[in-house]
Chains A and B, each alone.
Chain A
Amino acid sequence: MNTKNEKKRFLEIGGVQTVIASLICIILGLLVGYIVLLCINPAGAWDAMTSILKNFLYFPRPEVALEYFGSTLAKTAPLLMCTLSILFAYKVGLFNIGSSGQYAVGAGLALYLALAYQMPWYVCMIAAMIGGGLLGGIAGILKAYLNVNEVIAGIMLNWISLYSVNMLLTNVKESSTTYTMALKTNSPDALIPSLGLDKLFSDNRYVTIAIPLAVIIAILVWVVMSKTKLGYELKATGLNKNAAKYAGMKEKRNMILTMVIAGCLAGLGAAFLYLSGIEQWSCAQTAVPAMGFNGIAAAFLGGLNPIGSIFSAFFIQHITSGGSYVDKMVYCAQISDLISAIIIYFCGFVLFFKYCMNRKAKK
């Protein structure tokens, strides 16, 4: 009897339910992904699945594995920022699908200032933040004052920013390719310093202070959301903006402020990626950066909790990077996009999973 009571309580704790629900989403996503792999080619499906899940462990030598672990972490930092951007807006009742565009604008400004004016990294980073914030602000103003659905406005802004950034960065691209010039040779000051962190990951120079910084920002977001007056006001606005207005809060200002902060987070994420030098922007890009969309997956998988999203962002980046290790003769790397899309889809059922758990706990 006693143990049964404890079991009840265990299942009724909110955090436990969230973790279980997220794990169910992951398992279902992987399962459906595995079935798709089986349909394409039954022989290599298991190997492909394990290489996606192994990612950097694919390399048997520990030093090499450690180096690629560093690269995965370097890409997790920007993803975590996009995740926080979406999560922050969602807490206030806004779906920031525009984080991809804010991310693109951040990348554009950071790279342009770095390559055209040789600005140091902190200037580029702040510019990326401001750029993303402004774009977020536009969506916020449109929503607050003109009642424009923020999802549709966000998508439109995504495409507008993609084309604008391509246009801007064409000025600083390599003459022979479509990629922007390498930061290492053209503007070394713009590279984010690593302060010795690279030594921990077999001298992987892409491991920079961006990674600890992203974790600190995640904790800051948690503090702001749950421990401050501002966070309380923002959440109240998200729950019921009329009630918030009635209670004397400036609900319109709150909505715009939220989108600005969300935009800043996404823009900063882009700076974290492109100023580490791990990737160059392709000016012929015809698709909106996937980072913002993967952020949606990570945000919901992390149970919409800033601390949870540190882990979920790592997981999503882990399988996305792992996608590049599948056997290219049989499958394509997009299989991991497919798996994360399926995971997002199942995240829609989280409420239902929790309902089932509550019913089971009450029995």
Chain B
Amino acid sequence: MALLLQYTLIYASVLMLVALGGCFSERSGVINLGLEGTMVIGALGGALVMKYMGDLPAALMILAVVLGSVIFGMIYSLLLAVSAINFKADQTLVGTAMNLLGTAAATVIVKAINMGENVNNVSSSIQYIDQRKAFSAFKIGNFEVSWFMILAVILLIVAHVVLYKTRFGLRLRACGEHPQAADSVGINVYKMRYAGVLISGFFGGLGGIVYITAGVSEWKFENGVAGFGFLALAVMIFGQWEPKLIGLAALLFGLFRALSNVYSGFDILEALNIPSAVYNMLPYIISLVVLALFSRNSRAPKAEGIPYDKGQR
């Protein structure tokens, strides 16, 4: 039971972080479908830090890992910002390209590193068995609290405050609802949208590193992040683009994702004899159902997905 709770919370943290990223980007008016790729690149950044700076003291290493993944994520999200904001590219297309590019680039980079060390090592995995131990903050019985869970809760509060209690948040939301109106009162729409996309890169990258350190001690980059970026977008829609609700939605989705990891620990579930593939499918089925129920009256930002053109009325 403790294990289920632990996995639920850690997966909920991942989904919440990435969904918050999507929320900031869409609130500024840019649809970020490239979150999946951003997660992979962020995870790569964090994993590289763990690989090369693994012998730092724990606190310093956590900081370095977080910084590494966040910086990688933000730089990667610039690909979307430049094309969608400056060049008015199709955001769905660019997002998809970023997802493919993220996995392909991470695989190529990791394989090149592995092969550089040992010619016969053609795997696309990075190991971080010892480094990963630093992330657990404290234990209550079997239940292990990770620093990332604490960080996720803090960031949730920060995200809410920034979006609803600051001038910056108000301006950001205005650009996603009616950029022309925002522009007419002197807000620089392009700058605001850049900020939104970069913040989503920040959260996406962080979510990536939390995801790959959640349950395992090595990550095979060829597999990407298995649709987690898209699950996060489902969480965001279910959470109606509001940080508070996103937090709750993430808990629900995290539970179903956690079930596929630990279902064998429950006698009742084990006795049902359902193939493991069904548990693997569960989060995706749930999100489809949830999307079907909640998309009709969605309160999506009105101007999302539409490139801002100064000359247009």
User: Do residues B275 and A167 form an inter-chain contact, with CB atoms below 8 A?
Assistant: yes
State whether the Cβ of B280 lies closer than 8 Å to any Cβ in chain A: yes
User: Do residues B284 and A159 form an inter-chain contact, with CB atoms below 8 A?
Assistant: yes
User: Do residues B287 and A341 form an inter-chain contact, with CB atoms below 8 A?
Assistant: no
Residue of A nearest to B120 (CB): A329
Q: Which residues on the B side are within 8 Å of A156 (C-beta)? A: 227, 230, 234, 284-285, 287-288, 291
- Interface 0/1 of A224-259, CB less than 8 Å to B: 000000000000000000000000000000000000
| Minimum CB–CB distance for A348 against chain B, Å | 3
State whether the Cβ of A185 lies closer than 8 Å to any Cβ in chain B: no
Q: CB < 8 Å: which of A160, A338, A351 contacts B101?
A: A338
- Bound: A84/B265 CA distance, A: 46
| Minimum CB–CB distance for B114 against chain A, Å | 9
| Minimum CB–CB distance for A236 against chain B, Å | 20
State whether the Cβ of A121 lies closer than 8 Å to any Cβ in chain B: no
Q: CB < 8 Å: which of B101, B226, B295 contacts A147?
A: B295
- Chain A: residues with Cβ within 8 Å of the partner, total of 47
- Interface 0/1 of A136-153, CB less than 8 Å to B: 000000100011110111
State whether the Cβ of B115 lies closer than 8 Å to any Cβ in chain A: yes
Residue of B nearest to A337 (CB): B104
User: Do residues A330 and B230 form an inter-chain contact, with CB atoms below 8 A?
Assistant: no
State whether the Cβ of A125 lies closer than 8 Å to any Cβ in chain B: no
Q: With A40-B112, A351-B89 in contact, is A287–B224 under 8 Å at CB?
A: yes
Q: With A152-B291, A300-B93, A348-B87 in contact, is A334–B230 under 8 Å at CB?
A: no
| Minimum CB–CB distance for B78 against chain A, Å | 12
State whether the Cβ of A190 lies closer than 8 Å to any Cβ in chain B: no
Q: Which residues on the B side are within 8 Å of A293 (C-beta)? A: 96, 100
User: Do residues B292 and A345 form an inter-chain contact, with CB atoms below 8 A?
Assistant: no
20 contacts between A and B (CB under 8 A): A146-B291, A148-B291, A149-B233, A152-B233, A160-B284, A167-B277, A287-B222, A330-B115, A332-B107, A332-B111, A332-B122, A337-B100, A337-B107, A338-B104, A345-B97, A347-B97, A348-B94, A351-B90, A352-B87, A352-B89
Q: Please list the residues of chain B having a beta carbon within 8 angstroms of any beta carbon in chain A.
A: 33, 79, 83, 87-90, 92-94, 96-98, 100-101, 103-105, 107-108, 111-112, 115, 119, 122, 124, 222-224, 226-227, 230, 233-234, 237, 275, 277-278, 280-281, 284-285, 287-288, 291-293, 295-296, 298
